[in-house]
Structure 1
Amino acid sequence: MPTRILPAVADPDTARAVTTLLAQLPDAEPAPPVPDSTQLVDTLARLAAESLDALPEVVLVHERIGPVPALDLVREVALRFPAVGVVLITADSGPGLLSAAMDSGARGLVALPLGYEELAVRVQAAAQWSAGFRRHLGGGAAELLAGPGGTVVTVSGAKGGVGTTLTAVQLALAARASGRTVALVDLDLQSGDIASYLDVQFRRSAADLAAITDITPRVLQDAVYVHETGLSLLLAPAEGERAEEVTDRAARQIVSALRGRHEVVVVDCGSRLDSAGAAAVEMADTALLVTTPDVIAVRAAKRTVRMWERLQVRKAETTTALVNRHSRATEIQPALVQKITGTRVAAVTVPDAHKELQAVVDAGRLHELDARSTVKQALWSLAGELGLTGTPAAPGKQLARAGDRGSLGLRRRGGR
């Protein structure tokens, strides 16, 4: 059986060298190189959705791949697609990097400049490991393809005040009401309001996880607040200046750890793009961009999408735009938003019904929004459209009882 190999190489010269050598390997079936981390993960996710057998046995990751750093990419591939053997291509073949690569989940390391013999040995070893892993897995393929965790959805705002946090909270509540384990993360690190919207006082935050290299379930439990609805909340720091502690690498580790313990992870990224938010958007299965149907907001949405593309965070066609405060009387309709931004626009639009929200927002009890609210009905329908509830959820469905235990620990009130 041929060994399928998918190279991830950004440098054109190295890509040509890798392609030439792989073509010489016996029983090898190399795919064309993908030029960045986003395309690699997207390709693997698409293949995994088909079947376990559709995944390549070996993935080669070049040290200069981007935008995600090579070791972080190795870790993500190893976590999300554990039946794939990952080999790192690097100019540094010293014991320090070898150890770090193995810790990240790599099955081998090939030194630059590339040599046929070493590449053949490493690819063969990774392929044998992959084949053995798949045989051992046997009937558990369905569980493997589900990944080590659940779906990640990021919610970003075209600009401030368009309803980003409201959307994130209601999506999380809808997913939780369908019986799924849900984490709601506030990565609007300088000005996040999830704690205020849900009447929470808790001293731990995402910043407390930033310096931890191995986020164990116990460490995660200490940082997460389990809300009365059953949502596991990871809040923004109360001190906005601590936002800089949460780097892109820390954000990836945090999101990966939460994904490994929940069926759904909803991340509120706010409207300000920083490295942590960019990392989350890049990792997300669905990136939602919220806008309102006015010229200023739609122009801001277009700027955001173009910036994501320039930074290789996300392509426009893989971004979903949500039109909030929609009215048939407005000149800007969803079709125009799609045309201007180049995104896919959600079929659901959220009506302009601010009065429905005022009381629960002022009381910090957004989770008690009436089931008859047209805003809630729209956002819960959106959760169904995005696949967060399995089937479209009815907003009147009973939320988890107060005191329900989330997947990470006991319900807590007050500071620590």
Structure 2
Amino acid sequence: MAGIVVIGCADQSLAYELRSQLAEAAEVEVVGVAETTTELTAMVVQHDPNLVLVHDQLGPEPVHQVVRDLSLRRPAAVSIVVSSDSEPEALGAAMDAGARGVLAYPLSFADVQLRVVNALDWSRHMMTLLAHSGPDEANARGRATVVAVTGSKGGVGTSTVATHLAWDVKREVPSYKVLLVDLDLEKGDVTSLVEARYRTSIADLSKVAQDLSVRTVADAVFEHESGLHLLLPPQDVRDVEWVTPAAIRQIVALLRQQYDLVIVDAGAHVTPVQAAVVEIADEVVSVVTPDLISMRALRRNLGWWESLAVRKPETVHVLLNRQSRLDEVQPETVRRLSPSPLLGTVLPDLGRKLQTASNSRSPEILTDTGWWKALRGVGRELGLVRDLAQPAPDAPAPAGEAATGSLDLAPVGRRATRSARRGDRGSASVDLLGVIPWLALVCLIAWQLGVAGMTYVWTGHAASAAARSVSLQETLPETRAAAAERMPSGMRSAMSVETSPVDASWVSVRTNVPLVAPGVFSTPWQVRIDRRVVIEP
């Protein structure tokens, strides 16, 4: 069976030489050559190779740190560092990072053959052990899923989504060890959503990043009464400077060994620390809201991540939060404007329903089943909980139901009472006959006014849809079709759409006000709504 190999090397001549030497040394299949550490990590996660050859000059991240991270994420993948430095110090540094050896160049065929054959044997042995260890042990400590939750901008609900997502996974699978890391160092809100009194923060771990151990990290984690574990930001803003990308890499590498799931609230600001988390995370979720400001911020953040070579847009999941049917920007528009794929599950707009849970710092108070079902759908799409199909939590049953019944309280002398009631009903009927025509006229006028008001609302929705269509540079028939979808079927024939003939800077929709009901008759009155058009890039 051929071994699978991934090469990380930006030097084309050296990469070609490695391919040639591998083809002669052993039966292997090179599935890809990565030119950056980001591409290397993505290839290893995707292909799960037996052997990883990485050049010590590969960037932008330190090679030894990348090797250490890969050895934790893929224990059966053997890493070998290719270096021009054959000194014992270089060999020791590579071994400390988790590499199985060092290949010195100029390459020697005998050395390459020895290293590759031994590495492939070791990898196959490790895969056999993992395959026979059972699903529980295979997914146990050391291969935790790390999910980075970011926001396109401030105020989109990043901390709420991250906190409630971690809370729901822990509630769904109590045996899971779930950790929530608040890495929004200056504006972290996790402690505003979950009550926690802690002394040690992530800054204290960063101060001793070079001497970290599993025990040190475990002592810094706060365990909530719900079973959820928390690693929180420093309370003194002056300690934020201790939290560096290198320290975060060390901390996350140790956290992978202790937990099943690590969710990181990475905030909305693109900083070196956030970029490091985005690069090493298994999944990245960017939270947006249904407005164009949020979408522009999303494109900006994705562009920065790509320019820093930490994450490509197609590997980021976009999560739409606070979605409502009344929004001008609907999920389909978000999907078309987003450079990254949009998750199929969207989170509803709960309005003030979240306030009680946030003010009391108790997520369990929120009983809206739609919210928790949507969050569980997000978890399913991200693969946070595998091979489990427990139903979503239902809202608690009401404490009691009102008893219904009837009591027969008919008085004595029932016949006399009924006769008196018949007389009263007769006089009331005569009075009512005189009032009915006036009531009907008032109701008809009120109904027509309501129809006129609804015509204004429908026309506004149609104008907004037409403006979005023009902003996406669609043709005029497509713009008219988009506007018609927002109108009742009986009013579409009387609707007209006009656009600016010069620069498409505005769009106008006209509609006749129907008489009594749409599709019956039309009045001579018209409703016209104009909308400005913002052309999206």
Q: Same fold (TM over 0.5)?
A: yes
Offset at 1:330? 1.5
Q: 1:141, CA displacement in angstroms?
A: 6.7
Contact 1:174–1:383 (Cα < 8 Å) also in 2? no
Identity %, equivalent residues: 37
Match of 2:38 in 1: 38
Cα deviation, 1:261-310, whole Å, max 9, x if unaligned, reads: 11111100000122222222122222100011111111001111111112
Does 2:244 match 1:239? no
Partner residue, 2:155: 161
Question: Which of 67, 76, 79 is the equivalent residue of 2:69?
Answer: 76
Paired letter, 1:19: R
In 2: Cα distance, 1:303 partner to 1:386 partner: 23
Distance in 2 separating the partners of 1:197 and 1:106: 42
Separation in structure 1 between the aligned mates of residue 278 and residue 196 of structure 2, nearest angstrom: 25
After the TM superposition, which residues 12-411 of structure 1 pair with which residues of structure 2 at under 5 Å, given as runs?
12-47=12-47, 55-135=48-128, 139-140=132-133, 142=135, 146=139, 148-179=142-173, 180-210=176-206, 211-363=208-360, 365-372=361-368, 374-389=370-385, 390-391=388-389, 394-396=392-394
Cα separation, partners in 2 of 1:124 and 1:268, compared to 1, 3 Å: same
Go from structure 1 to structure 2 and tell me whether the alpha carbon gap of 1:56 and 1:296 turns closer, same or farther (over 3 Å shift). closer
- Cα RMSD of the aligned pairs, angstroms, is 2.3
Deviation at 1:321, TM superposition (A): 0.6
In the alignment, structure 1 segments of 5+ residues that lack a partner are 48-54, 399-416
1:14 is displaced (CA, Å) by: 2.4
Using the size of structure 1 for normalisation, the TM-score is 0.86
Partners of 1:366 and 1:309 lie apart in 2 by: 37
Deviation, structure 1 residue 359? 2.2
User: In the aligned structure 2, how far is the partner of 1:162 from the partner of 1:138?
Assistant: 42
Range with greater deviation from structure 2 (114-123 or 137-146): 137-146
- The one-character-per-residue Cα deviations of 1:106-138 (angstroms, maximum 9, x if unpaired) are 000012333333323322232232234345556
Q: CA separation in 2, counterparts of 1:121 and 1:260? A: 31
The structural deviation recorded for 1:163 is 0.3
Deviates more, 1:305-314 or 1:170-179: 305-314
Detail structure 1 runs of 4+ shifted over 6 Å in the superposition.
none
Deviation readout 1:320-361 (Å, 9 max, x if unpaired): 111111112222122222222221111121222220112222
Q: Could you tell me which residue of structure 2 aligns to residue 51 of structure 1? A: none
* Secondary structure in structure 2 of the residue aligned to 1:237: coil
2:6, 2:53 within 8 Å by CA — same for their partners in 1? yes
Write the distance in 1 (CA, Å) between the matches of 2:283 and 2:376.
16
Distance 1:87-1:378 versus aligned 2 partners, 3 A rule: same
CA contact (8 A) 2:178 2:262 kept: yes
Q: Once structures 1 and 2 are overlaid, which stretch shifts more, 201-210 or 229-238?
A: 201-210
Question: Match for 2:65: what amino acid?
Answer: D
Task: Work out the number of aligned pairs and report it.
Answer: 390
Matches of 1:139 and 1:46 in 2, distance apart?
22
Distance in 2 separating the partners of 1:378 and 1:27: 48
Please state whether the residue corresponding to 1:322 is helix, strand or coil. Answer: strand
Q: 1:92 to 1:245 in 2, by over 3 A?
A: farther
Task: Tell me, in whole angstroms, the C-alpha distance in 1 between the residues paired with 2:390 and 2:381.
Answer: 7
Instruction: Describe the SS at the equivalent of 1:238.
Output: coil
- Relative contact order, higher structure (CA 8 A, sep 6+): 1
The 10-residue stretch of structure 1 (181-190 or 383-392) with the greater mean CA deviation from structure 2: 383-392
User: Paired residue for 1:4?
Assistant: 4
Q: Is the 8 Å Cα contact of residues 6 and 43 (structure 2) preserved in structure 1? A: no
**CA 1:386–1:135 in 2, change beyond 3 Å: closer, same or farther?**
closer
Is the contact between residue 158 and residue 297 of structure 1 (CA under 8 Å) also seen in structure 2?
yes
Cα separation, 2, equivalents of 1:190 and 1:369: 27
Tell me: CA distance 1:141–1:89, structure 2 relative to 1, closer, same or farther (3 Å): farther
Q: Give the direction of change, closer, same or farther, for the CA distance of 1:396–1:229 in structure 2 (3 Å limit).
A: farther
Give yes or no for contact 2:6–2:44 (8 Å, CA) kept in 1: no
The aligned amino acid for 2:221 is V
Assess if the C-alpha contact under 8 Å between 1:61 and 1:87 holds in 2.
yes
CA distance in 2, matches of 1:151, 1:136: 21
Q: 1:203 to 1:162 in 2, by over 3 A?
A: same
Q: Determine which structure has more spread, i.e. the larger CA radius of gyration.
A: 2
The letter for the 2-side match of 1:369 is I
The answer (yes or no) to whether the contact 2:200–2:220 under 8 Å persists in 1 is yes
Contact 2:223 2:229 in 1 (8 A): yes
User: What is the one-letter code of the residue matched to 1:372?
Assistant: D
